[in-house]
Every structure is written in C-alpha cells, then in structure tokens.
Amino acid sequence: MLLEVSELSVSYGEREIVRNVNLSLNEGEVLAIVGESGSGKTTVIRAILGCLPHEGRVSGGKILFEEKNLLENTTVEWCRLCGTKATMVFQDSGSILDPIRRIGSQFIEYIREHSPMTQKEAAKAAEDMLRKMHLPNTENIMKSYPFELSGGMRQRVGVAMAMVFKPRLLLADEPTSALDVTTQAQVVKEMMEICQQDKTAIIIVTHNIGVAAYMSDKLIVMQAGEIVECGRTDDIIAWPQSVYTKELLDAVPQVGGKSYVS
C-alpha cells in the first residue's frame, strides 16, 4: 500500500471541517474526490501534503505514506518529500509562478533545489518534461514570462514541474477547472499519459464527475466534510447508493438524451 489515510479529521481553529476520512491508494492507481465547493475535498489533499493554510491542523487520524506516518514528519523530512516523492498541481499553476522571472529560470532553480543536477542537466530535464506535456517550441517556452503563455500552457508547465522527478504520488487540486473544455481534455490526457508511464498514483480533486469518471479507478464522494460514498468508480457510476451521488450524476449535462459519464 502506497498511501493509507485512517480516520482523518481536520480543524480550523475550534471548528472541525473534515471528519473521519478513510482512503487508500496503491502504486499507479487514480483516486478522484468529488463534491460541491466547501465539501472538504481540497482540505483532505492539503492535509496529506502537510500544507494546510492558516489555522488548519490535523485533529485526528493517521496518514501513512510508504508505511511512515507523515504527521510525525519534521520540517526537514517534509522538504525532502515534497516536490520529489509527492507533489501537487494546483487549479491555476500560473499563480505559483513568479511573474517577473522567465519560465526556464524558475524551472531550473526548482530542479536544482531538489537534486544535484548541474545547470545544463537541469535545463535539459526541464525541456524534456515540457515536450512530454506536448508544449511546442520548448526553447521559446523556457525564455518566456508566465504572462506570455496561455492558461493551458501555464497549466502544462505546472504539471511538468510537478512530474519532473517522477513522484510516487501526485495530488491534483481542480487541475483543469480554469481551462476551456477542449484544453481540459488535452491536459488531462497528457497528465494521465505521463503518470501511467511513471506508475505515479494520483488523487484528483474535482467538482466535475465526468473528469472523475474518465480518470479514476476509485471514487470518493464528499459532502459537508464527510465521505458519503466510496468504491470502484465504475460501480459508483453504474449503481450509486447515496442520494447526493445520484444528484451529482443527474446534474451532468446530456447530449441527445445520453449522459457521457461512463
């Protein structure tokens, strides 16, 4: 078992936001967490990677990654883990890029921060990863500033940076929701291709149950900070048990009377 989360609860101040979440993930598996805004999806994956904001804290449970409880990590251990073995892709990866520095400068610095690569080796690794994300003319991308790229291109850069060290676990927080539908499909496909090649396990947070159905082996449905349904994705899509899950599925747009969640 790569990741096992047991009875996870998260609080902000005195208020408990997430209660008794259980999930598990093997190498190469994809787990999707779906639910409406405020259901606790993002809080769960932020807790796993130790990056809860403000007064957020894990108030109960265990998070075992490679059989080690991450809640016992020191600051040094978190630094060794994040960016290499476990990484995160955010909703708008462009927002984490420095707007006044070129993409190449930031990407190379990121690689060298986490590895002993030389400047030249890091530049080559960065360009190779950008090519894997099907970005055209990678030399120009490396010389560009973030504002010179489209939203889809910036998101591809974010995924490339997250995947450059072939992490064992990728956490993706609404990684395509800021993009148009066509670009969403392209980025999801490219991300899946790379993860399958590297046997990377993924937890993707999304409100789009269609994306979840396409990407995931397992599905968790959250409402008001709790899991209301979990299991194999195909089973939940075909035979939803929770009223809330049925409502999410009913909300998927239909074309010609046919739903394209399958």
pLDDT of res. 171: 95
Report the distance separating Cα 86 and Cα 104, nearest Å.
22
Residue 15 forms part of a structural domain: yes
* DSSP code at position 85: T
First to last CA, the chain: 27
Q: Write the pLDDT tens digit of every residue in 202-235.
A: 999 988 888 888 889 999 999 999 999 999 999 9
Residue 105 forms part of a structural domain: no
Residue 184 forms part of a structural domain: yes
pLDDT top residue among 195 and 43: 43
Residue 115 forms part of a structural domain: no
Q: Write the pLDDT tens digit of every residue in 100-112.
A: 999 999 999 999 9
Q: What tokens does 100 get?
A: 């006044």
Domain count of the chain? 1
Q: Write the pLDDT tens digit of every residue in 114-152.
A: 999 999 999 999 999 999 988 989 999 999 999 999 988
The candidate with the shortest Cα–Cα distance to 97, out of 89, 86, 106, 88, is: 106
Residue 140 forms part of a structural domain: no
Residue 217 forms part of a structural domain: yes
Whole-number average pLDDT of the chain: 90
Residue 201 forms part of a structural domain: yes
| Tokens 């070129």 belong to residue | 102
CATH number at residue 201: 3.40.50.300
Asked if residue 197 has pLDDT above 60, the reply is yes
Phi/psi-derived region of residue 222, left when phi > 0, alpha when psi is between -120 and 50, beta in every other case:
beta
Determine the structural domain holding residue 33 and report its residue range. Answer: 3-93+170-259
Residues 6+ apart with CB under 8 A from 72: none
Q: What tokens does 61 get?
A: 């449970």
Residue 86 forms part of a structural domain: yes
Residues 6+ apart with CB under 8 A from 21: 5, 7, 8, 9, 40, 44, 61, 222, 226, 227
Taking each continuous run of H as one helix and of E as one strand, the counts in the chain are 10, 12
| Contact of 55 with 43, CB cutoff 8 Å | no
